[in-house]
Structure 1
Amino acid sequence: MIVTGRLVLLQVAGVVPALIWQSASVVWLWTLGVALVAAIDATVAVSPKRLRIQGAPPATARLGQPSSSMLTVRNLAKRTARAKVRDLWVPSAGAVENIHRIRLRAGDGTRVSTPLLPSRRGDLPAGPIAVRTYGPLGLAGRARTFPREQALRVLPAFTSRRHLPSRLARLREMDGRSAVQVRGEGTEFDSLREYVIGDDVRSIDWRATARRSEVVVRTWRPERDRRVLLIVDAGRTSAVRVEGGTRLDAGIEATLLLTALASHAGDRVDVVAFDRDLLGVTATSKADSALASVADGLAGVEPMLVETGWETIARWVQTHHRQPSLIVLVTGLETAAIEAGLLPVLPALTQRHRVVLASAATSDGGPWHSAAATDAVPRGDAAPSGADEPPADAFELAAFLRSELDRAAISAELGRLGVSVIDAPGEQLAPRLADRYLELKSSGQL
C-alpha cells in the first residue's frame, strides 16, 4: 500500500480536535480512523494487475533529435481506475515528462507519449513501467512495477549530411549530367548518340556510323561499380576527445558521408569495424538502403581501450577483398600506434589496393590560438621576469609542436608507402574525405 499527501494533511488536521478536547484518546481515535479510511481507500483502488500496459518505443532514433515512446493502457477492471504511469528510461535516453496521470472507466483505454531526446548512440534499454493506482478519495493506493525487454536504437547524428548536396552536385558534373561526356582517364563507355558540331572527332564510332548511315559518337561516364572498403578503428586511439566527442564519432561521420556519396556514384561500399577483433561487417548492395545499413551497423560501436589488431585486419582484407578496391582506414595518426601496428601490414594492402588514411586531429591550431601561450614564449634573449623557469604554457606549446612534427613525419612515411593521408579537425574530416574520393574517382584511381 502507498499513501499520498492527502493522507498526511488529513492526519495533520487531527491537531484541531486534539487541541479542543486535549485528550490522548482523541489523538488515538483520529489516527485509527485515518488509517481505517486509508486502508479502505487502498482496497477499493483498482489493482495494477488489472491494467494492461503495452510499450511501443520507436525502432530507431537519431542522436540529438527528439523522439517519443508510446504506452497503451487499458483498464480490464469493472470499476474506474485512477492511476499514475511512469515510463522509465536510462538517463541517456533523455526522457522528460514521463509521469502520466490517467483516469479510465471500466473497459476503456488510452495512449500516453513520453518525449525522448537521446544523448548517446547505441542501444538504450528501456526501464520498467511503474504504476500506482489510487482509491476514490486519493488517500492511499497500490503500486506495482512491470519489467520490459525493449530498447531504443540510437543512430549516429550524421551532422555531416550538410556537405552532401554540394558533393553530389560535383558528382553529377563528373557523371556528365551537367557537362559534356568526353572520354578521359577514369571513364567508361556509356552510350552512342548523334554527332553534333563541336564533338571530339576521336569519339566517332566508325562501325556504328557505317551501320546507321549517320555519324555517331561514343559518350563516356565515370567508372562505376568500384569497391570502397571503409575500416573503422575502434581501438584505444579512437577514444581520444575531439571537439566535444571522440575520434570515433568524427570517423563515423566521415564514414556516413562517404557511404552516401559513393553509393550515389554507383560504387559498392563495405564498412568494417575493428578493435582487437572484428566487431561487425556491413555490406551494401542497394544505393537506397546503403546509408541506413551503415548507420545501423555503426550505431553500437564504442571505443575500447585495447590495441587495434592490424594484422587481423590485413588477413581479413586479403581473404574477403581480392578485387582492387579503395580502402579507407579511419584511425588515429599517433606515431607509436602506427609504427607498431599499421606500418608492418601496409605493404600487403597497398600492393593491390588504393589506401587512404583519414584521421581526426585532436586540436585546431593548438596553443597558437591562445594569446596567453604566445605571450609566454620569451622573445630574443629576454628571460621571464621574476621566474627561474619558463611558464607552463611554454611547455604546452612545446609539446604541441613536438606532436605536430611527429604527425608530419609519420604522414611522410605513410606517403612513401603509397598511402594518401588526410589529417583534419573533426568537423572537417568528413568533407575532406569526400573531396579526396571525388578526386580519385575523377582521375580513375579507384
Structure 2
Amino acid sequence: MLISGRFVALALVGVLLAAWSAVAVGVYALVLVLALATDLALAGRIAGLDVGREPTAPVRLGERAESVLAATNTGRRVVRALVRDAWVPSAGARPRAQRVGVPPGETRRLTTVLVPTRRGERDTDRVTVRSYGPLGLGARQRRLVVPGRLQVLPPFTSRRFLPEKLSRLRRLDGAVLVRQRGQGSEFDSLRTYVTGDDVRALDWRATARSRDLVVRTWRPERDRHVVLAVDTGRSSAARLGDEPRLDGALDACLLLGALAARAGDRVALVAADVEVRARLGPSGGRDVLPRLVGALAPLEPSLVETDPQLLAAEVLRQVSRRSLVVLFSALDTASGDAAEGAGLLPTARALAARHEVVVASASDPELARLAHERGDPAQAYLAAAAELAAARRAAVIEQLGLLGVHVVDAPTDVLASKVADAYLDLKAAGRL
C-alpha cells in the first residue's frame, strides 16, 4: 500500500485543526483513514491487469525506437494506474512513467520512446504498476515481469564512404588489372597485342584467325575470401574520443564487408579474446551485411588479455585457401613476449605464413596532443611518455612490415576508409 501526495496534503490540513479542537482533529483523522481504506478497496486489482509487450524492431545507435506495452483489464473495476516501464539508462527511455485508465474488458497501449546511447542489447524485465483508487488517496503497487529487449545495431557511420569506394571498385573491375596469366586469375577478354605485353599471354588460336597478334587479358578472381578478425580484449575498451576502439573496428568491418560483397568476394568473421565471441562462416551477396550487423551488434569489450593463439587458430579454421585476413587490434598489444606466443606479432606471423594480412589499428589523437604540450614539467613528462608510445608504435609497424603484413594506422573517423583503400589496393595489384 502507498499513500499519495493528495493524502499527505489533507493530513497537513488536519494539523491546522489542532488549534481549534483536539476532538475535531481526531474525527478528521478517523474520516481521512476511512476514506483511504475505502479508496484502496475500490482501486482496480493489478492482478486483473494483463500486461504484454510487443516486439521491438532493431534500431541503429542514435536512432529512435518504440517499445509498446498492451494492458488488458480482465477485472471488474476500472484500473487507474501509473505505469513505469523501466529500461537501463543507456536505452534513453522517455517518458519515465505514464498514467492510464483501463476500463473492464478493454485494452490500452502505452508507448515508450527509446533513443539508445550505447550499442548492443538493452534489456528490461520489470514493469511497475501503481493502481490508484477513485479518490487518489492511496494506491496498490506491484512489479510485473514483462521481458523486453532492444537490439541496438552499430551506427555504420562509414557508409558515407561507400559510394566513393564502389566507384573505385567499378573502375578496377572495368580495367585490365592483370595482363598476364597468373595463378588464381580468371579470363577476361581478348585484345590486340601491344609492345610490352607478356608473350606468354598470346592466344595462338585467336591469332591464327586474325591478321594481328592477340593476347588474353586476365582479371583477379571473384569469390575470394575475406576474413574479419576482431580483437575484443582489454585494448578494445580504450576510449578514443567519444567511443571505444572496438566501435571503430566494427564500423570498418561493416564498410569492408559491404564492399567485398559487391566485389563478389565471400566474407567471414571471427571475434575473440579468451573465448570466441562471434563467428560467421564465409558468405557472399546480399546476405553479408545483415549477417555482419547481427553478429557485431552484441559485441562488447572484455577486460581480459586476448589469447592470440585462440584468435589465430579460429581464423585458420575458418578458411583453408589463401585469403585476405584483416586483423583489427591495437598496435600496443604487440609488446608481449613473442617466444611465449603472446602479443600481436606472433599472431600476425602465424597468419601471414598462409594468408595476405592487413592489421588495422585506430590511433589515439590524444597522444599527438600530449606530445606537443610542454608548458610545465608535468606536461613535459606526459609529452615524453607520448613520444615513447609513438616510437614503440612505429617499431611495431616496422616489424609487421618485415613479416609482409600491411598496416593501417589511422584515426577512428577515417579508419574504415583507409581499410577499404587497403583492400582495393590489393585488388588493383592483383594480390587478391
Cα deviations by residue, 1:257-282 (Å, 9 ceiling, x for unpaired): 11111111111111101112222202
Residue 424 of structure 1 is matched in structure 2 by 410
For residues 163-178 of structure 1, the aligned pairs below 5 Å read 163-176=161-174
Residue 404 of structure 1 is matched in structure 2 by 390
The one-letter code matched in structure 2 to 1:399 is A
3-state SS of the aligned residue for 1:148? Answer: strand
2:11 matches 1:8 = no
Deviation at 1:316, TM superposition (A): 2.9
Query: Does the CA-based 8 Å contact 2:270-2:311 persist in structure 1?
Result: no
Residue 46 of structure 2 is matched in structure 1 by 48
Cα deviations by residue, 1:365-402 (Å, 9 ceiling, x for unpaired): 613785x53xx3xxxxxxxxxxxxx6222222222222
- The CA distance in 1 between the partners of 2:82 and 2:202, in whole Å, is 79
Compute the RMSD of aligned alpha carbons: 3.0
Query: Does the CA-based 8 Å contact 2:40-2:132 persist in structure 1?
Result: yes
The one-letter code matched in structure 1 to 2:150 is L
Query: Does the CA-based 8 Å contact 1:42-1:141 persist in structure 2?
Result: yes
Corresponding residue to 1:441 among 397, 405, 427 = 427
Deviation at 1:204, TM superposition (A): 9.8
Query: Does the CA-based 8 Å contact 2:371-2:383 persist in structure 1?
Result: no
For residues 158-307 of structure 1, the aligned pairs below 5 Å read 158-176=156-174, 184=179, 188-190=186-188, 222-307=220-305
- The CA distance in 2 between the partners of 1:369 and 1:402, in whole Å, is 9
Residue 362 of structure 1 is matched in structure 2 by 364
The one-letter code matched in structure 2 to 1:278 is V
Cα deviations by residue, 1:225-270 (Å, 9 ceiling, x for unpaired): 0000111011222222212222212111111111111111111111
Compared CA separation, residues 15 and 347, structure 1 to 2 (3 A): closer
Give aligned-pair identity as a percent: 44
Residue 130 of structure 1 is matched in structure 2 by 128
2:338 matches 1:336 = no
Deviation at 1:287, TM superposition (A): 2.4
Residue 386 of structure 1 is matched in structure 2 by none
Cα deviations by residue, 1:257-313 (Å, 9 ceiling, x for unpaired): 111111111111111011122222022524223122112212222222322211223
Q: Which runs of 5+ in 1 are unaligned?
A: 377-389
Residue 65 of structure 2 is matched in structure 1 by 67
Which has the larger displacement, 352-361 or 122-131? 122-131
3-state SS of the aligned residue for 1:147? Answer: strand
- The CA distance in 1 between the partners of 2:328 and 2:337, in whole Å, is 12
Query: Does the CA-based 8 Å contact 1:83-1:132 persist in structure 2?
Result: yes
- The CA distance in 1 between the partners of 2:189 and 2:179, in whole Å, is 15
Query: Does the CA-based 8 Å contact 2:335-2:344 persist in structure 1?
Result: no
- The CA distance in 2 between the partners of 1:142 and 1:318, in whole Å, is 60
Cα deviations by residue, 1:164-201 (Å, 9 ceiling, x for unpaired): 1111111122222xxx6676378633578xx99x9x99
- The CA distance in 2 between the partners of 1:24 and 1:100, in whole Å, is 41
Query: Does the CA-based 8 Å contact 2:273-2:311 persist in structure 1?
Result: no
3-state SS of the aligned residue for 1:89? Answer: coil
Deviation at 1:70, TM superposition (A): 0.7
- The CA distance in 2 between the partners of 1:139 and 1:246, in whole Å, is 49
TM-score (norm 1): 0.85
Which has the larger displacement, 411-420 or 232-241? 232-241
Aligned length: 419
Q: Which runs of 5+ in 2 are unaligned?
A: none
3-state SS of the aligned residue for 1:26? Answer: helix
Deviation at 1:348, TM superposition (A): 3.1
Deviation at 1:9, TM superposition (A): 2.3
